[in-house]
Amino acid sequence: MAQPTLINPSTATKAIAVQKHMLSRLLYPNPVCLLTVSARVPLEATTTETTGEAGDGLGTWARNVMTISWLTAIDNQGHFVSSMNLNRHTWSLLQHTNTFVLNVPTLRSEELVLSIGSCSGKVKDKFEEFAIPICKINYTKLEWEPTEDEDPPLIAIQGTVAHLLCEIEDISERDGHAILFCRITEAYAQESVWDGRNFGSKDDPLLSFLGTKRFATMIPP
């Protein structure tokens, strides 16, 4: 089993709530992100190992994480556009919820990002497969414990440097892809990468996708 290379929680800096008028700044560098989604899905729709029993006839909890880089901010108030292939397992889960979390990894997580992007959540729970630590978007503790009475919690990845809670406001389809018009409703970033105005770090740079499993790094001047 691959072990994730992420920020060590013991050495992570303080998480800062990003001000509303600065939410889009976390997408300005167009960083590679790990999109996490959790939803309650009908029993007949679950054909994978990524679910947990969630009650009599209420459906099951399901979760997934995917690598995504087609993200573009469109204003300064947290609105952005994303594109996702309609065959993605994540897209099937987004039929049951309009919220997801963008987690921003860094160079040290490059191998994990590639591993996540190289397999499908249709056949395995990537969180278990790669031992990915989860948390709430504000970096506090979270347990994945399916229950009958509640919908699954929002999942963020503990070792990433920023968490962006996103809501889908509108969807269109083009050439086999869903064009998602989204809004960041809340975000937290590690103090080491967010100075209140700019997002990035010289010590552990963000990733930009070049294609064919290759990345570039973004290092502030």
Residue 107 has a CB neighbour count (10 Å cut-off) of 17
Supply the pLDDT for residue 46: 52
Token digits of residue 115: 């591993």
How do residues 113-154 score in pLDDT, each as one tens digit? 999 999 999 988 999 999 999 999 999 999 998 887 788 999
Task: Return d(Cα 63, Cα 39) in angstroms, integer.
Answer: 6
Single pTM value for the model:
0.88
φ/ψ bin of 98: left (φ > 0), alpha (ψ from -120 to 50), beta (otherwise): alpha
Contact 54, 63 (CB under 8 A): no
Supply the pLDDT for residue 44: 65
Domains and CATH numbers, the chain: 16-218 (2.30.110.10)
How do residues 23-57 score in pLDDT, each as one tens digit? 999 998 889 999 999 999 887 655 554 555 544 45
